[in-house]
Amino acid sequence: MKEARRALAAVVLPDGIYAIGGYDGRQYLATVEKFDLNRQEWVYVKSMNTARCTLSAVASSDCQYIYVLGGYNGKALNLVERYSVMSNTWELMPPMNVKRFMHQSVTLLRSDL
């Protein structure tokens, strides 16, 4: 990667591996890098609105969005952001009811829809 980071979230999509946020030993990160499978190299994509570490992230079932939940940047966060793979933009979503960090998230697919 271009930037050292720990306590990050990672998501795999058909176009690459996304390394999201984290901590570089000095500061919380809002930056996002993608390992571009076509170019075979790490590239920066749009940064999140809020720097954080110990967050969780999941891809939408259609692989069009990445949802980033909670995290820590000196305090626990209840923030939710959504990244659009197609437009390379982040938007704030409604916050979680409870602040969370050092947690995991999963996407469940329902067969009855």
pLDDT tens figures, 22-42: 999 999 999 999 999 999 999
pLDDT tens by residue, 1-27: 999 999 999 999 999 999 999 999 999
- CB-CB contact of 26 with 5 (8 Å): no
* pLDDT reported for residue 109: 74
Which residues are bridge partners to 11 per DSSP? 18
The answer to whether residue 59 scores a pLDDT higher than 80 is yes
Other C-beta atoms within 10 Å of 88: how many?
11
Structure tokens given for 41: 């190299």
The answer to whether residue 107 scores a pLDDT higher than 90 is no
Answer whether 0.85 is exceeded by the pTM.
yes
* pLDDT reported for residue 113: 55
Domain-by-domain residue ranges, the chain?
9-93
> Alpha-carbon distance 45 to 61, whole Å?
21
Structure tokens given for 51: 């720097």
